[in-house]
Amino acid sequence: MKPTTQVQLNAENIVAFLGDIFTRRGGEAYLGESVTMAEHMLQAAFLAEQRGESETIIIAALLHDIGHFTGEFGAFSMNDTRDRYHEQAGARILEHFFPRTIAGCVGMHVAAKRYLCAVDPDYFGKLSPASVHSLRLQGGQMNAAEVAEFAQSPHLHDALAVRRLDDAAKVAGLHTPKFDHYAPLIQSMVSAHCANAGA
């Protein structure tokens, strides 16, 4: 299903569309954390760069929470009593323009939290209060059957990398590059993906 937006998205305008989201709405509060939505996503990408991650992980980290803005359910808040599935909303937008790994990481980053809570004894204790709150709405830690199924994903390693970047990207006052720093790489990925898809 094609994404439903006010703008008809294509390979020529998707980067500007994403950049506009960062500009217009990036200053919104991020789930009760000490950073804004844009700061959080830019920090995730910046930390990926600092850790020498691949370009795929960098862009997946940058866009992992874009579904908070493009999903039909709107943004998450600490007052929510149900999951808004922002990861699925984000993946639906990105899957038309980006490599499958990027859309996969975005779509899996919530499940990756649930997975890590089940397999890593130390992981839950490192989550922020907001992340613990959302975890309850998202189904809590995975059961054994869910763990076994998730572990078979071809994007497992990358999704876990993005998840850990997500968790780390909550540092008040951390200086990062702006969205424009990543725009040429994003456009290159989009152009290559759409050209291959149309071949």
**Cα-based angle 115, 130, 88 (whole degrees, multiple of 5):** 55
154-186 pLDDT tens trace: 999 999 999 999 999 999 999 999 999 999 999
CATH superfamily name and code, 14-197: Hypothetical protein af1432 (1.10.3210.10)
CA distance to 84, 172, 194, per residue, from 72 (Å): 9, 29, 25
pLDDT at 98 over 80: yes
Model pLDDT, residue 85: 56
Nearest to 49 by CA among 61, 41, 58: 58
Model pLDDT, residue 75: 44
58-88 pLDDT tens trace: 999 999 999 888 643 344 444 445 545 577 8
Q: Collect all residues with Cβ–Cβ distance below 8 Å to 152 and sequence separation of at least 6.
A: none
Q: Where are the domains of the chain?
A: 14-197
Q: What is the mean pLDDT of the chain?
A: 87
110-132 pLDDT tens trace: 899 999 999 999 999 998 888 88
**For the chain, percent of residues with pLDDT exceeding 90:** 64
For the record, the structure tokens of 123 come out as 């992981």
For the record, the structure tokens of 162 come out as 């993005």
Residue type, 63: L
